[in-house]
Amino acid sequence: MPKVLLSFIGRNKYERCVYVNPQTQEQSPVVRFVTEAICVLNCQNWTENDRIFIFLTPDARTANWLGKAYENDPDDTLGLKERLNNLGLKAKIEPIEIKEGFDETEIWANFQTIFDCINERDAIYLDITNAFRSIPIFATTLMNYTEFLKKGVNLKAIYYGIFEKLGPVYEVVKKYPNPADRLVPILDLKSIVELQDWTSAANDFLQHGNATALAKQAEMAKFPSSREFAVNLNALTGAFSTVRGKKMTTGLVFSDLRQNIQDIERDAPRPLKPILEKINAELQPFQSDDILNGFRAIEWCLNHKLYQQGITLMREAIVSYIGHKLGLDFSNKNERAIVEKAFTIQLQKLPPHPTPQIVQKALRQFTPPRGLSAEDFVNGITLVCRNPTFRALHPIYTEISYEYRNDINHGGYMSDAKESDEFVLILFRKYDELKKIIAF
């Protein structure tokens, strides 16, 4: 992965100082230009495949790149061009002219100029210390734009040499006459960009239920449990996209994520914690090993526009709930068949307390599921048909299952296929009806 330093110089005169890496305490020699310090501290081992771009206006080229501003300086008359050449770096060094940025046209021209310097799979080191006007504002947008359009581009660091920490320039010169005493930290502001990435990824998850971007952020983080958090986020996305109702009912995919968030919050930067808390709040309705999670999952689908999944879940959650309520195993294929068959024959409007004989007559000629006797099959259906909750849910199940679920799963190819907005409306309406029957 080629390394690329993007740095800027203005036309102001710069005072000499020593730049310091706050993490390693490594110091540069006395330098005038932060770009030189960054190259000394970070670019000594770069190769011929790596590149250093210096962005400058015509005035900045004269004053600081060529050193016109320092021709009468008794200590150092060299401009940045010669200072960098004297380092003997292997990386290619190239000055790139940009506009002053006085209007929107010039700002967009600068944006394009910087963008064009970046190739696919470049590792970017961005120095904004002396960037002027709009550049620090659009820098993070530029990097996000570039990472999206150019494969493999990766922002490694955003450098800012904070000279102003020492005070106004005139005071610094007076207080520290020896430039070696002017110790200036070079901050890496990449964590601010990472917070923006976390925010964008979390918003994608909260708005659309898609945790892919959030999982990617977690994979790159170095917090305890962050990798496990990524795995569980992907598991949650997969559970909803492929309608894994049993996983939702057990609740492990939600409780595991809540535990991950709790672990991460102890070490995460403070600005990240409210984002994690908002994600955690989204998971709170789901309980461990709770049959009602199936209905809560329908609301999740509604909130995240997963309408096909919501319609499928509504049918299956009703079957599971009735089976669970009557002591049947909702994960057993034969016992689910009992509940499903009960819904089918109830279309014949069986009385509130049907006998097995009435049920058997309603079944007409039938073959019970393999492994289930005819008697057990009839008795099971009879038990279900006598249940008042089953009878209350029957109209919802019937409309969703026979009319809407079949239609949506046929992909709209049937001659009487419904319009897409009809599925949204029916799901909202039937969900409201469900809430009136079942307290969840």
Domain 3-188 class in CATH: alpha beta
pLDDT in tens, the chain (440 residues): 999 999 999 999 999 999 999 999 999 999 999 999 999 999 999 999 999 999 999 999 999 999 999 998 888 999 999 999 999 999 999 999 999 888 899 999 999 999 999 999 999 999 999 987 778 788 888 998 999 999 999 999 999 999 999 999 999 999 999 999 999 999 999 988 888 889 989 999 998 888 999 999 998 888 888 999 999 999 999 999 999 999 999 999 999 999 999 999 888 888 889 999 999 999 999 999 999 999 999 999 999 999 999 999 999 999 999 999 999 999 999 999 999 999 999 999 999 999 999 999 999 888 889 989 999 999 999 999 999 999 999 999 999 999 999 899 888 898 889 999 999 999 999 999 999 999 87
- Whether residue 227 contacts residue 218, with contact meaning beta carbons closer than 8 Å, is answered with yes
Enter the DSSP assignment of 46. -
Q: 10 Å Cβ neighbour count for 132?
A: 19
- pLDDT tens-digit map of 223-259: 888 999 999 999 999 999 999 999 999 999 999 999 9
Write out the two tokens for 223: 């917090």
Beta strands in 119-267 (DSSP E): 123-127, 154-161, 183-188
pLDDT of residue 295: 97
Where do the structural domains in the chain lie, given as residue ranges?
Answer: 3-188, 196-283, 305-437
Compute the distance between CA of residue 177 and CA of residue 135 in angstroms, rounded to an integer: 32
Specify burial of residue 147 (Cβ count, 10 A radius: 0-12, 13-18, 19+): middle
Closest C-alpha to 98, from 146, 131, 143: 131
Q: How far is CA 129 from CA 80, 138, 173, 350, 398, in A?
A: 15, 14, 19, 79, 66
Nearest-angstrom CA–CA distance, 323 and 155: 53
The angle that helices 135-149 and 190-208 make with each other, rounded to 10 degrees, is 60
- Note the pLDDT tens digit of each residue in 317-350: 999 999 999 999 999 999 999 999 999 999 999 9
Reported as half-sphere exposure (CB side, CA atoms, 13 A), residue 315 has a value of 22
Give how far Cα 421 sits from Cα of 244, 395, 404, Å: 25, 21, 12
For the whole model, what pTM was predicted? 0.78
Alpha helices of 5-134 — where are they, by DSSP H? 34-42, 58-60, 80-85, 104-116
Task: Look up residue 375 and give its amino acid.
Answer: E
Residues near 136 by beta carbon (within 8 Å), at least 6 away in sequence: 128
Closest CA to 81 of 90, 68, 72, 99: 68
Q: Is residue 142 within 8 Å of residue 149, measured between CB atoms? A: no
Exposed e or buried b for every residue in 55-89, given b needs 16+ CB within 10 A?
Answer: bbbeebbebbbbbebbeeeeeeebbbbebbeeeeb
The total number of residues shown for the chain amounts to 440
Main-chain dihedrals φ then ψ at residue 43, nearest 5 degrees: -115, 10
